[in-house]
A and B are shown apart, each in its own frame.
Chain A
Amino acid sequence: MKTGTDRVKRGMAEMQKGGVIMDVVNAEQAKIAEEAGAVAVMALERVPSDIRAAGGVARMADPRITEEVMGAVTIPVMAKARIGHIVEARVLEAMGVDYIDESEVLTPADEEYHLNKRDYTVPFVCGCRDLGEAARRIGEGASMLRTKGEPGTGNIVEAVRHIRKVNAQVRKVVAMDMDELMTEAKLLGAPYELLLEIKQLGRLPVVNFAAGGVATPADAALMMQLGADGVFVGSGIFKSDNPAKFAKAIVEATTHYQDYELIANISKGLGIPMKGMEISSLAPEARMQDRGW
């Protein structure tokens, strides 16, 4: 009997496919998310838009919040650790969270090195903007990916850019002549063996969700249509007018992302979504996607 194997860690993410993972900051929100049909919740101290507003250093949530959320729901609970923060990750593992997000939403603890995620029994999800970044994280042991988008903006444009880029680069590798693969690995800064595996499988070897800017049911469906395996929604739900209704509608739109009549129906009278931000209005240091490499 073996725990923490690749199959067990990656398999857990496979079970989340076609689902929505929602950011929550307390037990009450976690219950709303579970009731709405979320496949997992991400326990946080503040949702990304509030992290932006608060400024300063964003760290792992108070363990009491994470514990409260774990006690409130039966679906898996994820939590965020700072990039490269070995101890935050170990603390979350010791608490028994089901998945750790080594996340650019928090202020990085290490600007050079990400965590060596193979060392842990608990699986990790990491952000990526392109295939090179995706492959480096898988190389370090990430068992699940999410494209980064730009968290806490309610603006889908970066999420679209990143999922399109990753999938276009996967298609390129799959179609590429074997003679060209090592050069591609060098150009992407990606481990050669991983590109080889992607070429053989015809896809990424781990599940890839979309994140960072999903604010409406149509945004969630768009991500699925562009080839995401599922969707993370951060500020989009609990910063909207009617979180319970929004949460349910986003779950349904993710399941039936090609049923446009249904999406029209569930989008009617939802109330006001979170207020969005123009990406160009962000100062360079406020861009979360540029954290990590």
Chain B
Amino acid sequence: MVKIGVLGLQGAVREHIWAIEASGAEGIVIKRPAQLAEVDGLIIPGGESTTIRRLIDKYGFMEELKKFAVDGKPMFGTCAGLILLANDLVGYDAPHLGVMDVKVERNSFGRQRESFEADISIAGVADNFSAVFIRAPHIVEAGENVEVLAKHNDRIVAARDGQFLGCSFHPELTDDYRLMNYFVKMVEETKSKNFA
């Protein structure tokens, strides 16, 4: 069984743990950088990206997270997590982790009253996925090696760049675990390749 960490600084942490466990992997809440060594893949959850970033800096997570990426381990960012993974942010001089080749715009669908649910199709995952968008970002541009997995109203809302998976919405707020199953499979494949 693979072990998947959820960065537990702030946000919807326990919902991801439940989804990981329902998808046949072991979920671990990561509160300290040293814990990253224990896990085969990492989820950066939804929450407030500015808050999570501040706590990443405060507790010396930045270098360790970048190293986790360089080691080739899969990472999955949902909403705030996608913002943290992106290598370019609209209106900002510098990205956060900057490991995934996508340009992301924050709060791009509007404020909370514009937040919505919609049925979307995610390539290779589901053609009727109920997605919850909360003050959501979207991917403005995807690099050439990035596979676009889902769009909503012509905006990219889910994509994969090799070991990195990102989405604008919150799969952890529903009990549809198909996208989590997809990520668990990514983690299993990477782990078995490293042992082959």
Cβ-based interface call for A251 (8 A): yes
Are A75 and B51 in contact, CB atoms less than 8 angstroms apart?
A: yes
Are B79 and A15 in contact, CB atoms less than 8 angstroms apart?
A: yes
B10: contacting residue among A11, A97, A255, CB under 8 A? A255
Are B50 and A74 in contact, CB atoms less than 8 angstroms apart?
A: yes
Are B173 and A7 in contact, CB atoms less than 8 angstroms apart?
A: yes
Check A18/B112 contact, CB under 8 A, given A11-B134, A11-B173, A98-B135: no
Stretch from A31-39, A107-115, A127-135 forming part of the interface with B: A31-39
A87–B53 CA distance with the chains assembled, in angstroms: 37
Are B51 and A251 in contact, CB atoms less than 8 angstroms apart?
A: yes
Give B54's nearest chain A residue, CB to CB.
Answer: A37
Which residues of chain A from 20 to 47 have any CB-CB distance to chain B below 8 Å in the complex? 34-40
Are B112 and A15 in contact, CB atoms less than 8 angstroms apart?
A: no
A35–B58 CA distance with the chains assembled, in angstroms: 12
A76–B135 CA distance with the chains assembled, in angstroms: 9
User: Cβ of B106: which chain A residues have Cβ within 8 Å of it?
Assistant: 74
B12: contacting residue among A2, A14, A35, A252, CB under 8 A? A14
Check A14/B10 contact, CB under 8 A, given A39-B48, A75-B51, A123-B112: no
Cβ-based interface call for A19 (8 A): yes
CB distance from A194 to the nearest CB of B (A): 20
User: Cβ of A121: which chain B residues have Cβ within 8 Å of it?
Assistant: 113
Are B135 and A12 in contact, CB atoms less than 8 angstroms apart?
A: yes
Q: How many residues of A contact B (CB 8 A)?
A: 37
Interface residues on B, range: 35 or more
Give B114's nearest chain A residue, CB to CB.
Answer: A3
A255: contacting residue among B9, B48, B80, CB under 8 A? B9
CB distance from A41 to the nearest CB of B (A): 11
Are B58 and A1 in contact, CB atoms less than 8 angstroms apart?
A: no
Are A7 and B10 in contact, CB atoms less than 8 angstroms apart?
A: no
A3: contacting residue among B47, B51, B79, B116, CB under 8 A? B116
Give B107's nearest chain A residue, CB to CB.
Answer: A74
A15: contacting residue among B46, B107, B174, CB under 8 A? B46
Cβ-based interface call for B21 (8 A): no
Which of B31, B114, B134: most chain A CB closer than 10 A? B134
A1–B135 CA distance with the chains assembled, in angstroms: 15
Are A37 and B113 in contact, CB atoms less than 8 angstroms apart?
A: no
Which residues of chain A from 218 to 258 have any CB-CB distance to chain B below 8 Å in the complex? 251-252, 255-256
A245–B35 CA distance with the chains assembled, in angstroms: 28
A36–B53 CA distance with the chains assembled, in angstroms: 11
Query: What's the dominant secondary structure at chain A's contact region?
Result: loop
Cβ-based interface call for A5 (8 A): yes
Check A17/B10 contact, CB under 8 A, given A11-B170, A12-B135, A256-B31: yes
User: Cβ of B132: which chain A residues have Cβ within 8 Å of it?
Assistant: 7-8, 11
Are A12 and B112 in contact, CB atoms less than 8 angstroms apart?
A: yes
Are A34 and B50 in contact, CB atoms less than 8 angstroms apart?
A: yes
A1: contacting residue among B55, B80, B107, B116, CB under 8 A? B116
Cβ-based interface call for B189 (8 A): no
A19–B135 CA distance with the chains assembled, in angstroms: 17
Cβ-based interface call for B117 (8 A): yes
CB distance from A82 to the nearest CB of B (A): 20
User: Cβ of B11: which chain A residues have Cβ within 8 Å of it?
Assistant: 14-19
Cβ-based interface call for B126 (8 A): no
Are B135 and A17 in contact, CB atoms less than 8 angstroms apart?
A: no
Are B174 and A7 in contact, CB atoms less than 8 angstroms apart?
A: yes
A74–B78 CA distance with the chains assembled, in angstroms: 18
Which residues of chain A from 71 to 107 have any CB-CB distance to chain B below 8 Å in the complex? 74-76, 93, 96-99
A252–B31 CA distance with the chains assembled, in angstroms: 12
A40–B134 CA distance with the chains assembled, in angstroms: 14
User: Cβ of A98: which chain B residues have Cβ within 8 Å of it?
Assistant: 111-113, 135
A18–B55 CA distance with the chains assembled, in angstroms: 12
Give B173's nearest chain A residue, CB to CB.
Answer: A11
A17–B17 CA distance with the chains assembled, in angstroms: 14
Give A11's nearest chain B residue, CB to CB.
Answer: B173
A9–B118 CA distance with the chains assembled, in angstroms: 14
Check A39/B47 contact, CB under 8 A, given A7-B173, A12-B135: yes
Binding site for A on B (CB under 8 A): 8-13, 15, 31, 46-48, 50-51, 54-55, 58, 79-80, 106-107, 111-118, 132-135, 170, 173-174
* 4 extra interface residue pairs, beta carbon distance < 8 Å, beyond A4-B113, A15-B11: A15-B170, A19-B48, A74-B50, A97-B111
Nearest 4 pairs of A and B residues by beta carbon: A98-B112, A37-B54, A18-B10, A1-B118
